[in-house]
Amino acid sequence: MEHVTPDQVDWTKLGFDYIPTGKSFRAEFKDGQWQEGSIVNEATIQIHEASPLIHYGQGCFEGMKAYRTKENKIQVFRPELNAQRMVDSAHRLAMEAYPVEDFVRAIHQVVKANKDWVPPYGSGASLYMRPYLLGNGPMTTVAPAEEFVFGIYVTPVGPYFKGGLKPFNFLISDYDRAAPKGTGRAKAGGNYAAGFIASQAAKKQGYADAIYLDPLTHTKIEEVGAANFFGITPDGQFITPDSPSILPGITKRSLLWLAEHRLGLKAVEGEIYVDQLDQFAEAGAMGTAAVITPIGSITHGDHEYVFYSKDEVGPLTLKLYQELVGIQTGDIEPPAGWIQVVDC
Ligand code: PLP
Ligand code: COI
C-alpha cells in the first residue's frame, strides 16, 4: 500500500478508506494475564493458523473517533462507553476482556502517537479508531482461545455514506444479521460478515445500505447494517428501536439524551413496526461512522416510505446533527463527562 504523509492528504475529500498512519496500539493476553501494551509500528499481526478467531469467528471490535477543535485541541467522545461495550462483547463471545481503564488509556496513547493524523477543525473529517480483540493460539476443539490480542488501529476518515449531509435511500433486507438470542448486542465480527450479502444486494439496486427487521417476527425495524435507526414523529417524539438483537449504539444513547434535553423532544426506545413507518416525519441512521445520516426513503417490498424529502434534510434531523457534531468538535458545551481532551 502506498504510504502518504499527513501533509499530502486532502482532508475534505476523505471517504472511509484505510490510510496507514504507521502507529498502532497492541497488547497480548498470555499465561493467564494481560501483558503491558505499547505503540507498535506494525500493521500486521501474527495469528495462529488454528486460532478460534480464524475458525470460529472469536473476535470483536469497536469504532470511535478523535476530533480536532477550533482551539487545536484533540478530544475523544465517551470512550469509556466503547470500553464497556467491548467488555460486554468479550463476555458474550467467551473472551478475556481488556480492562476498561486500560482501554481508555490506550485510546489516549494511540491518539497522541498519531496526533498529526487528526484532521483539522472544519474539514468534516476525524480520526477513526478501531479497537479489536481476537482469540489467538491453537485450539482445534470448538472452544474459546486461551491467548488474545487487543489492538487499536487508527485512520483518518470523512463521511461513511459519501456525499455529505443529504438524505440516503435504504432497502429492507430479507436476511437477518443476528438471531433473537444471538450476538446482535455484541460488536462481533461475524455479525458483519452475515450482513455483507444483504448490503451488497441493496447497493447493487442503488440503495445506500440494507435495514434489518427483527429476526423473530420480521415485522419491526431493527437497525441499519452499520448504524442504529431513529424516526421523528410530527408531534415531537424521537423514537428508536428497543431490541435485544441490535447493537446498543453510543450515538443512539447520546441522541436519546440530546433529543430530550437539548431539543425538547420526547425520547422513546420502543417498537417500530415496519408497516407503521409512515408515522415519521423524519428518519435517520446514527452511529460513529454514519454520524447522523438522514434517511430519504425506505423500500419494503413494493412499498416506498418517504421521510421529509428525498433531497433535503429535515429540520430536526439537522438540529440533532449540529448539536452532536458541535459537542464532538468542541463548539457546543457537552453534557458532563462526555468529552475527554487528549494530552498531546
Ligand atoms: N449498529 C451497528 C450494527 C453498528 O455497526 C454501529 C456502529 O458502530 C451502530 C449500530 C452504532 O453504534 P455507535 O453509535 O456506538 O457507533
Ligand atoms: C462504526 O460506526 O464505528 C462502525 O463500526 C460501523 C461500521 C463502519 C462497521
What is the whole-number distance in angstroms between the Cα of residue 286 and the centre of ligand 1? 7
Give the pLDDT mean for 158-172: 93
Could you give the dihedral angle defined by the CA atoms of residues 145, 150, 154 and 160, in that order, rounded to the nearest 10 degrees? 50
The three cell numbers locating residue 170: 435504504
What is the whole-number distance in angstroms between the Cα of residue 186 and the centre of ligand 1? 10
Q: How confident is the model at residue 162 (pLDDT cuts 50, 70, 90)?
A: confident
Tell me the pLDDT tens digit for each residue of 195-223: 999 999 999 999 999 999 999 999 999 99
Q: How confident is the model at residue 1 (pLDDT cuts 50, 70, 90)?
A: low
- Ligand 2 atom nearest 16 alpha carbon: 8
The three cell numbers locating residue 173: 433486507
Which of 115, 162, 166, 187 is catalytic? The answer is 187
Which ligand has the nearest atom to the CA of 253? 1
* SS3 of residue 8 by DSSP: helix
| pLDDT on residue 337 | 98
- Ligand 2 atom nearest 61 alpha carbon: 5
| pLDDT on residue 163 | 83
- Ligand 2 atom nearest 130 alpha carbon: 3
Q: From residue 197, give the alpha-carbon distance in Å to each of 7, 176, 194, 219.
A: 37, 10, 7, 21
Q: How confident is the model at residue 230 (pLDDT cuts 50, 70, 90)?
A: very high
Atom 7 (ligand 2) nearest CA: 226
Atom 9 (ligand 2) nearest CA: 226
State yes or no: is 310 an active-site residue.
no
Which ligand has the nearest atom to the CA of 228? 1
- Ligand 2 atom nearest 65 alpha carbon: 3
What is the rounded radius of gyration, in angstroms, for the C-alpha atoms of the chain? 20
Residues 315 and 321: their CA atoms lie apart, in Å, by 10
Q: How confident is the model at residue 18 (pLDDT cuts 50, 70, 90)?
A: very high
Q: How confident is the model at residue 127 (pLDDT cuts 50, 70, 90)?
A: very high
Atom 5 (ligand 2) nearest CA: 63
For residue 110, pLDDT beyond 70: yes
Q: Output the ligand 1 site: residues, CB below 6 A.
A: 63, 223, 226-228, 247, 249-252, 287-288
What is the whole-number distance in angstroms between the Cα of residue 232 and the centre of ligand 1? 19
Distance from the Cα of residue 125 to its chain's centroid: 15
Which ligand has the nearest atom to the CA of 198? 1
What is the whole-number distance in angstroms between the Cα of residue 173 and the centre of ligand 2? 19
What is the whole-number distance in angstroms between the Cα of residue 212 and the centre of ligand 1? 13
Q: From residue 104, give the alpha-carbon distance in Å to each of 80, 176, 203, 342.
A: 6, 33, 36, 11
What's the whole-model pTM score? Answer: 0.97
Give the pLDDT mean for 76-101: 98
Atom 10 (ligand 1) nearest CA: 227
- Work out the mean pLDDT of the chain and round it to a whole number: 97
